[in-house]
Structure formats: C-alpha cells, structure tokens
Amino acid sequence: MLISFCGARGGDAPLTWGQRSTRRWIDWLGPHEASLNVPYLLPVPAGSDDDVVREGLRRLVDRHEALRTTYPDGAQRVLRSGSLDVVTRTGDPEAVLAELAAERFRHDDGVPVRCAIVDGTAVALVTSHLSTDWSAMMTLAAEFPALVRGESLPEPTWHPLDQAAAEATPEAVRHNVEALAHWRSILERAPRSLLDFPERTPEPERFVRLGMDSPALAAAAPMLAERWGVSVGSLLATTAGVALATLGGHDTAALRVICGNRREAPLRGMVGKAAQDGLFAVDLAAPTLRGIVHDGHNAAKRAYRYGRYDPYELDALKGAVRHERGASLDLLAFFNDLRMGRSWSVPDADPAKTRFFVDFSTPRARARAFFTLEYAPDTCLLFVLADTAYLSRDTGWALLRAVEALVLRGVADGDVPASHIADTAGLEPVRRPAGWRRAGPDWYDPSAVADVLRIACRAADVTVDADLTAHLASDVDTPEAAHALVMGALAGRTDVLAPRRYILNGRRPASGRDPLDHDGP
C-alpha cells in the first residue's frame, strides 16, 4: 500500500562528507551489491493496527529529509513530496528484514527506504547507508513508537542539507586541513599493511566473519579500563591492533576506526550519514601493555577528532603518499565499536564459557581484518571479518582469543610486559619465506618486485639491490616513467614495494639523484 509523504522542505545540495565516504564504498562494491544497506526491526506498540502504523511511518518520513532524498549525479536531492510503498507480510520478521535488505536501492531516483509491516507486531525497515548510519537508525527507533501513538515530538533542527552547508564554512575548511594533516602524519610512517606476508589459498567464500561470545571479556574489560584510566573502546581497539601487529611482526599497529561523528550538538540527533573512517596508529614501544594501551587511548582520541574530512581530498592525499612511498597503502584493518555507549555490568565470568562461531561468509569485502564490537547485556560479542587469502579461520579465532587473553591477564596480573605479549596472546608471528626483506615498517619479496618490473617495464634484465635500487634494461626512458608503470602494477599487492631508485640501462639520472628517491617513512 502506498503512503504519501510531504515534508516542509526540498532542495538540492552537494553530498556531505559522510555521504561521499559511503558513495565511494557503494561505487566500489558495484551495481548489484546491497551489503551496505542498513536493516532494523521496529517493534510496533501493542494495540496498533496497520493503518496507524502506516501513519507513524508517514510522519517519520515527513520529519526526516534523509528518508526522502535521492542521490543523482553525485549530489543529494530532497523530495518535497512523494510516496512510499508499505507492504504487509507474515512470517519471521528477521527473515522479512533480510529479504528487504538484500536488494540494492536505486539511488538516482528512488527513495532510500524500504519497509514492511510483519504480522502487525514489527516493521522491517531498511534504509540506504547514504541516508542513515547506526546512530541515525537509533533516532528513528526511539521516535517511531511515539509517532505511532500520535504523540507530538519536537521538530528536527538539523538535516543533511544543513550539514552540507556547514561543511562549506571557513571553520569546516580549517578542520578538514587539520584532519588531512593527521592522516598524512600516519600514512607516511605506518606499515602500508599489517598483513604484508604471502597470500594463501583462499576459501571459496573468501571472507568469513568469525565471532567470539565472551562473558569473561564483558566482565574484565570495564574493570581493566577503569583501572588503567582508558575507555573500554580504546582498550579493545588497541588490544586488537596489538594482536594483529604481533601476528604480522610489526612495531606499529594501524587500524581504521569507524567514527560516529556525533559529538557536536547539531549532529547528535540528525538522521543522516555522519560516520566516517578515522585513522588510528599506536607504536608498540612502551615496555608494558598498559603503556601501549595508554598511548592507544590518546591515539584513538586523535583518530575520532579527525574522523571528519572531505574523502575526495583524502583520496588525493592517499594517492600522493602512495606515489612518494612507492607502496600500495593497504590499511584494510578496521575496528568498529557498535555498543552505542552501552556498557556491561557482568560479574566475574569463567573464560571456559567463551564460545566461538562462524557468523557468515561472503565472496567480496573491502577489508583484510575487520573487528566489530557489538553489545549484548550479559556478554561481549567481538567479531573479525577475515580475508582468508591472508588469515585462516584458525588464525582469525586466534586473534579473537588473543584480545580476551591479554585483557584477562591484565586484570589478573595488573599488567603484561611487552616482551610477553605474544606468549600471553597465544600468537606466533608469521614466518615469511627466506629472502623476504624489510624496508622501514614494510616487508616485501624482492623476487616479486623483480617480476613486477619485468612485466610493467617490459624489462629483459632486472636486479633489485637490498636498498631497493632497481637495475633494469628497458625501453622506458626515465625513472619517473618507470615508477609510474610500477605503481600502476602493484595496486593491492602486500608483497611488493616499488624501487626507491631506478637505474635504467646502466645510466644514473643526470642530476646524480633519482628524483623519486625517498628514504621511507
């Protein structure tokens, strides 16, 4: 059944920074991918018939411009009026929700909402991620029962059109410059990937989401966070990063953290897309885990502070640093805290009750290791989406166990010496094949570098010195041209770095110094 909506305002504007971030992911995933849709089950207040529920949904769409927005040609267009099909269904609400979420939205001309009333007890609501993030969905869930009951609510004061205007102000431009400087400071020095070791044969469904259900971690994490003066989120994000860096044999843990970006008053209640990635990096130089976690807590605060930026400008920055470093900047390790400020109150729990399970698998994802922290009242739910070309299921579960083990040992002993982290975590660092070398923070395979040079530069004779100087016989005329060809060939590679110097046909550059020479981050 169609319901008609009519809002107070329509209009066009550029995409907000949050929308631009999501648009990039949607475009990368392809025209048929629906994994970024945002599904939610809204309970229907008892005694409400379907017509009353439809009226509540109409009021919800009228109130929030993001729910009646299309996204043509890289812009947002708020519809002043239109219609939404609200169907009635029977059966399992979760199954109906999954069915509605499995179809991609037509962003150019379709409303970004899909919903069904299921047996009069729940509304299966699915929105486009261009229009909502998890915080926005919580706002909708809080308002829906009151709207169904016919209650009056204060009108929203901030919408994506307002946010787009705010992001064009001088204050926002200054913040964007500061945020990009923060990203550059990490991109220049962090490992270009924490998983720079040889690929393995992936599983048929290449990406698998592994879960850990740990009442013990729910009891221990708040206790240790309070004792060490950090947040639970930064404690677990740092510990996950430490586990991943320990596995890969790195001295720095670099993760992308999902930032809700709802600190400022106008954005707190906005139904729209505000979340973006932040960049978190912590050096594992402190003598104990407590010191590393303290450093991680401060690093997390900086990451969240600078988690708002123009992603198109960040793309340009990444391209420049990628060229300077001669590396494909992988940075596909993530941590997302979805507890929404909720905290556990769990008594001491037995680690023997911890349960491990497979949540789902999928053939495509833009991640190598994606940790997600979810809330349940009586347990900690920690997941890792693992790229099985790099992490086996057993290794993925070992990473989850490592987080639990480090936190529990911190509670029991007060701290963990840095020299004991690998043993405490139960992690054995990856053993790379003989011949692999390290340049700054990065590992690479010299033979793979030589192969890339042969193919990209059509070189008949190639050698790569220990200092990443490449000698090649090729028709390529200049080091700059050789570097451009190599950079085009190593996208996504975690086993290859571009040479720091190119000596073509035995001739050094006339200046005596290759203009692409760099000393690493």
In the chain, count of helices (H) and strands (E)? 15, 20
pTM over 0.85: yes
Q: Which of 123, 148, 164 is the last residue of a domain?
A: 164
Helix (H, G, I), strand (E, B) or coil at 385: strand
Cα Rg of the chain (Å, integer): 25
Assign 274 to helix, strand or coil.
coil
Same domain, 310 and 368: yes
60, with CB counted inside 10 A (0-12, 13-18, 19+), is buried
Sign of CA pseudo-dihedral 185, 448, 498, 30: negative
- Are β-strands 81-89 and 2-6 bridged in parallel, bridged antiparallel, or unpaired? antiparallel
516, part of any domain: no
How far is 85 from 36, CA to CA, in rounded Å? 21
Question: Which of 398, 425, 452 is where one domain is finished?
Answer: 425
Q: Profile the chain (521 residues) by mean pLDDT over runs of 10 residues.
A: 92 97 87 86 96 97 97 94 95 96 93 96 97 96 97 96 97 98 96 95 96 97 97 98 97 96 91 96 97 98 97 94 91 94 85 95 92 95 98 97 98 97 96 95 96 94 93 92 93 93 77 40 27
- From first CA to last CA, the distance across the chain in angstroms is 59
510 domain residue, yes or no = no
Is residue 515, in this structure, part of any structural domain at all? no
User: How far is Cα 44 from Cα 61, in angstroms, rounded to an integer?
Assistant: 17
Q: Is the same domain home to 147 and 74?
A: yes
Which helix (H) or strand (E) covers residue 484, if one does? helix 479-489
474 falls within a domain: yes
- Within this chain, do residues 226 and 374 fall inside the same structural domain, yes or no? yes
102 and 135 share one domain = yes
What digits encode the pLDDT tens for the residues 308-366? 999 999 999 999 999 999 998 878 999 999 998 888 888 878 999 999 999 999 998 88
How far from 125 is each of 39, 412, 478, CA to CA, in Å? 6, 44, 57
Residues present in the chain in total: 521
Compute CA distances 141 → 82, 123, 196, 363, 391, whole Å: 22, 10, 42, 31, 37
| Domain CATH for 480 | 3.30.300
CA dist 473 and 468 (Å) reads 16
Domain hosting 329: range is 169-425
Helix H, strand E, coil C: the string for 130-143 is CCCCHHHHHHHHHH
**Residues with Cβ within 8 Å of residue 298, at least 6 apart in sequence:** none
CA distances from 143 to 56, 72, 101, 136 (A): 9, 29, 22, 11
Judge whether 102 lies within some domain.
Answer: yes
Last residue of a domain, one of 121, 138, 164: 164
438 Cβ partners below 8 Å, 6+ apart? 444
Which tens digits make up the pLDDT trace of 167-185? 999 999 999 999 999 999 9
Do 419 and 300 have their domain in common?
yes
475 vs 479, 504, 505, CA distance in Å? 11, 9, 9
* Shared-domain flag, residues 265 and 348: yes
**Number of domain units in the chain:** 3
The closest of 162, 123, 178 to 16, measured between CA atoms, is 162
Assess if residue 347 is contained within a domain: yes
One domain, residues 192 and 128: no
348 with 228, same domain?
yes
pLDDT of the residue at 520: 30
- How far is it, in rounded angstroms, from Cα 477 to Cα 475? 6
Residues 478 and 381 in one domain: no
314 within 8 A of 440, measured Cβ to Cβ: no
What residue ranges in 57-127 does DSSP mark as E strands?
69-70, 75-78, 81-89, 113-118, 122-127
3-state helix/strand/coil string of 162-216: HHHHHCCCHHHHHHHHHHHHHHHHHHCCCCCCCCCCCCCCCCCCCEEEEEEEEHH
Within a domain: 517 = no
Statement to judge: residues 355 and 496 lie in one domain = no
Q: Are residues 178 and 140 in the same domain?
A: no
User: How many CB atoms within 10 Å of residue 218?
Assistant: 24
pLDDT of residue 510: 47
Measured CA to CA, the distance from residue 61 to residue 5 in angstroms comes to 7
Residue 76 sits in a domain of what CATH number?
3.30.559.10
pLDDT at 515: 42
| 72 and 188 assigned to the same domain | no
Query: Contact 337/373 with Cβ under 8 angstroms?
Result: yes
C-alpha 44/C-alpha 49 separation (Å) is 9
Phi, psi (degrees; rounded to nearest 5) at 371: -85, 135
